[in-house]
Amino acid sequence: MTSPASLAPQSVSAPGKVFLAGGYLVLDRKYTALVFGLDARIHCHIEPIRTQSGVYLNEIIVKSPQFREAVWEYGYRLTEGNGGVNVTQLRASHDSSLNRNPFIETALAYALTYISSCAPQYLIQPSSISILASSSYYSNPGKARSSNSQFLDFDVTLEEAHKTGLGSSAALVTSFTAALLTHYLPKDVFDLSQDESLKVLHNLSQASHCAAQGKVGSGFDIASAVYGSCLYRRFSPSLLEGHGEPGSLGFASKLRSLVDGGVEWDTEIQKAAIKMPAGLRLLMCDVDCGSQTPGMVKKVLAWRKERQEDADKIWKALQEGNEALAAELTRLATVEVANGDAGERYGKLREIFKSNRELIRQMSVQSKVPVEPPQQTALLDAVSNVPGVIGGVVPGAGGYDAIVVLIEDKAEVIAELKKLLSGWKVDEDGEDGVKIGKVGILGVREEMVGVRLEEPGLYKEWLTG
């Protein structure tokens, strides 16, 4: 029996993310993090592969047409012992090598297993999936195929693409999984407009994303891809232990229980706790850096274990600062603020940013990890002195790659920032041997909405490429 949901093309997108507060705290369930979605989205368009009468394929083709040689073909079959759907990448020829993509392959196996468990009466029909990413995910130059195209042709392989760190893997897994569920499952089983379906998408995407990474992360990036901007408390890592791998005995039942809530998730995602006031926006700057410090998270956690008392004082103060930042943003967004100049209106926000940055610098010094290194301190201080800039931070785990700033949403503020940054280049190495080069503004801002359906006609010019 075929699935009625598989007859029509479907399109879904999910946003990227940026941490405004709580980059290291998010690893511990005792604390929360303030994460904003970004309007840089990854889109997935899925449509059936039409075959001649009497011909049946067990094949799903995935393409990323903005890049060279970005095509993956998969065969799939239902395994014995309730093992779910096994996915095998197909070779174009015996001589060709496999270009593996663990995020796509794992998300496909998990999603097809869940689909077959929910609707065993339906055959999973062959389909073609096209993935398209907003240009802000990559620093490579690209060309538009038409004057009104919102996507660029990068004309490089994925290996040659330079990511800007906006959470592309989480946005990919979320939109890819949502496209598959929307396409193959009837609307009364899965519907992106329903809260229960969003929970299913969140749980399934968390499971497959962690499996593809080979580790259980905090999950904030998947949460923001599904729900948009939120105050987030992570799930217990033990939740994702013990459900096995696709094809293993009982995998399908274990995954279904995990996704549908037979296993109790203890994550907390508070959308109402964070709003962006009218007249303000986030702006991100990409920093061209000659080197990075690897293993920052491991080093900070090792320091915290060794100096628990000192670290906990900073963690506690940062948590209070994170909550204060979320509360003040929401207050400004929901309460009628008395007239007055911006200095009076946003004075408390500025103080919160300053206080949080001071704590992060203490963490940097004590842990000897460049969470906010001196090069970024100089940049943030200069940017914060531009009229209309409320404050900024080095997002997430910190380091040299980017900064995020909260600004008044005015053209003149952005113009002044561009003027400052156009001449911002430090040729000398810092004490740590790291050289900061050119700084550019990324064309992104906050996005309160998470995963959503898109109009399939949006991708027409890319579906034959």
Q: What is the pLDDT of residues 255-293, one digit of tens each?
A: 999 999 888 899 999 998 889 999 999 999 988 774 555
Cα 76 to Cα 59, 72, 82, 109, 247, distances in angstroms: 6, 13, 15, 8, 11
Q: What pLDDT does 140 receive?
A: 84
pLDDT tens digit sequence for 27-68: 999 999 999 999 999 999 999 987 765 556 789 999 999 999
Q: What residues are paired with 21 via a beta bridge?
A: 34
Distance CA 203, CA 198 (A): 9
3-state SS, residue 74? strand
* pLDDT band (50, 70, 90) for residue 347: very high
Q: Is the pLDDT of residue 5 over 50?
A: no
Distance CA 303, CA 297 (A): 10
Q: H or E element: which one contains 161?
A: none
Mean pLDDT calculated for residue range 436-457 = 90
Q: Is the pLDDT of residue 4 over 60?
A: no
Report yes or no: 113 and 34 within 8 Å, Cβ to Cβ: no
Q: Which two tokens stand for residue 29?
A: 């369930």
Distance CA 143, CA 46 (A): 24
pLDDT tens digit sequence for 226-257: 999 999 999 999 999 889 999 999 999 999 99
* pLDDT band (50, 70, 90) for residue 319: very high
Q: What pLDDT does 207 receive?
A: 97
Q: What pLDDT does 1 receive?
A: 47
Bin 138: left if φ > 0, else alpha if -120 < ψ < 50, else beta.
Answer: beta
For the chain, what is the mean pLDDT? 89
Q: Is the pLDDT of residue 381 over 80?
A: yes
Q: What pLDDT does 452 receive?
A: 97
Distance CA 371, CA 301 (A): 12
Q: H or E element: which one contains 37?
A: strand 33-48
Q: Which two tokens stand for residue 141?
A: 């130059």
**Residue 76: which residues within 8 A CB-CB, separation 6 or more?**
58, 59, 60, 85, 86, 87, 88, 108, 109, 112, 124
Helices 220-227 and 195-213 meet at what angle, rounded to 10? 150
Helix extents (H) in 185-250: 195-213, 220-227
Report yes or no: 31 and 319 within 8 Å, Cβ to Cβ: yes
Q: Which two tokens stand for residue 25?
A: 């705290």
* pLDDT band (50, 70, 90) for residue 294: low
Distance CA 110, CA 86 (A): 9
- Highest mean pLDDT among 204-208, 269-273, 391-395 belongs to 204-208
Q: Which two tokens stand for residue 392?
A: 């900024």
**Residue 300: which residues within 8 A CB-CB, separation 6 or more?**
24, 363, 367, 369, 371, 397
Q: Is the pLDDT of residue 426 over 70?
A: no
Q: Which two tokens stand for residue 76?
A: 């799939």
Q: What pLDDT does 320 receive?
A: 96
From the options 3.30.300.90, 3.30.70.890, 1.10.1060.10, 1.20.1640.10, give the CATH code of 280-446.
3.30.70.890
* Start-end of CATH 3.30.230.10 domains in the chain: 4-271+448-462
pTM (2 d.p.): 0.92
Which has more confidence, 396 or 219?
219
In the chain, how many H helices and how many E strands? Answer: 11, 16
* Start-end of CATH 3.30.70.890 domains in the chain: 280-446
**Residue 313: which residues within 8 A CB-CB, separation 6 or more?**
none
| CATH of span 4-271+448-462 | 3.30.230.10
